[in-house]
Chains A and B, each alone.
Chain A
């Protein structure tokens, strides 16, 4: 069981180990969020929920919400909109004022990397060519703070999910997850991912997930839940 804290809770005296989600006052470390304490290396507080803050190098799944020459404006599940410049569309030099929508239209989903953020909170994206979402698969959204739990230690959780559900799973930093595969596999994967997100603060989660995926009967149970 992880230790649950609320804002203002005293955590430790080790000021030099104070990390994300904490603040230091009078030589003591306090929690800044409502969440769980992680004391493995630094002392961190991982909030239960929150809004994704884009940072350079993150890979995110975005949705085109506006076309404003020469940018596509992209919703990245954050308080800030991101933009994708025309020139970040690789191998295309015929893009023009009038035909941007023929490459990416409003409502299209993209996988992109954050290449820059500035003090004005402008977020610049670059398209990741290896992943083209198109209209295949399914998109689910979880709080971005739960992403490390979905991936698991050294990718153990996500690897297990991919093997057992036999579908392609792509987890983006902003909490959006793209699934692609056959219907039943996606159903199970989606259900298990939401379960992980709901129980991210409990321990022994990997074992429980393995058990659910292994037991044939519980697979059926999951299917029933979805049908309802």
Chain B
């Protein structure tokens, strides 16, 4: 619900000075955790996310093994200190749902049949949250999976669009998200132009939806380039 008297758009600019189609600054670091098979630290504005990948490794419990392919497990978890009011630690309805949709956003690119009977664990920890953490999590997890040497068809990139004060804008921050009219996170495989996840809460007209989708898909392209650069540069500095 919108608080009284909050103006989200002033002179064609948003509260943090961004234009409607502008992303927050992004920072990506690959291989930040020594003990994980693959890892990535991802910053998107005030969102700070760390992803760790372990595996493929022996699957437990054994009865959950798949004889034909690896099983992907994804855990999205918010640190208690990641939001203003302390979040009660542990899984809740929201994080279980986000874990599921994030896993399904990544599954289409992973060549799971190369490691039958194993599991691949992805742990995404939200250290600081400022709206759009699920998209930051997917971006981080996708880079961490590549870093772990997991066979993949492509990377996945993800971003949210929304509607504030009647305008379709890219990559909402927390104030905009809380006081806006709609929020729509998407994840896509950039090279193939395939959307692997799309959610929406709030209301948008058909035209606004189309406009938002176009905005988000273009932004995913930018994010993909940043993910790619981060991975390539890690091994070319020597």
Give A contacts to B, CB under 8 Å.
1, 4, 6-8, 21, 23, 30, 32-36, 47-51, 53, 79-81, 119-121, 143, 145, 199, 201-202
Contact = CB atoms under 8 A, between A and B. Distances in A.
Contacts of A79: 55-58, 115, 117-118
Interface in B123-166: 146-149, 151-155
B211 to A, nearest CB: 28
Contacts of A145: 149
Contact of B153 (A8, A47, A120, A202): A8
A51 B56 contact: yes
A49 B37 contact: yes
Interface stretch (B1-9, B15-23, B41-49, B228-236): B228-236
Interface string B202-238: 0000000000000000000000000110011001101
A34 B56 contact: no
B235 A30 contact: no
A165 B189 CA distance: 49
Closest 7 CB pairs of A and B: A8-B154, A50-B149, A7-B152, A34-B146, A49-B149, A47-B149, A79-B118
B94 interface: no
Given A6-B232, A7-B154, A35-B149, 6 more contacts: A6-B155, A7-B109, A8-B189, A49-B147, A79-B115, A121-B117
B226 to A, nearest CB: 12
Most buried by A among B67, B149, B153, B231: B149
Nearest to B59: A79
B143 to A, nearest CB: 9
B175 interface: no
Contacts of B228: 6
Contacts of B117: 79-80, 120-121
Most buried by B among A1, A32, A34: A34
Interface of B: 37-38, 55-58, 67, 109, 111, 114-118, 146-149, 151-155, 189, 191, 227-228, 231-232, 235-236, 238
B56 A121 contact: no
Most buried by B among A30, A35, A81, A121: A121
A48 B149 contact: yes
B231 A34 contact: yes
Nearest to B146: A34
Contacts of B109: 7-8
Given A51-B149, A79-B118, A199 B238 contact: yes
A143 B149 CA distance: 11
Nearest to B147: A34
Contact of B58 (A30, A35, A81): A81
Given A49-B148, A50-B149, A79-B118, A4 B236 contact: yes
Nearest to B152: A7
28 contacts: A1-B236, A6-B146, A6-B155, A7-B152, A7-B155, A8-B153, A8-B154, A8-B155, A21-B151, A32-B152, A34-B147, A34-B231, A47-B149, A48-B235, A49-B147, A49-B148, A49-B149, A51-B56, A51-B115, A79-B55, A79-B58, A79-B115, A79-B117, A80-B58, A120-B117, A143-B149, A145-B149, A199-B238
A157 B67 CA distance: 40
A4 B232 contact: yes
Nearest to B142: A7
A55 to B, nearest CB: 13
Contacts of A1: 236
Nearest to A143: B149
B152 A121 contact: no
A6 B231 contact: yes
A33 B55 contact: no
A202 to B, nearest CB: 6
A120 B67 contact: yes
A81 B191 CA distance: 37
A1 B238 CA distance: 10
A201 B235 CA distance: 8
B233 to A, nearest CB: 9
A117 to B, nearest CB: 11
A8 B111 CA distance: 12
A8 B191 contact: yes
Contacts of A36: 235
A176 B54 CA distance: 20
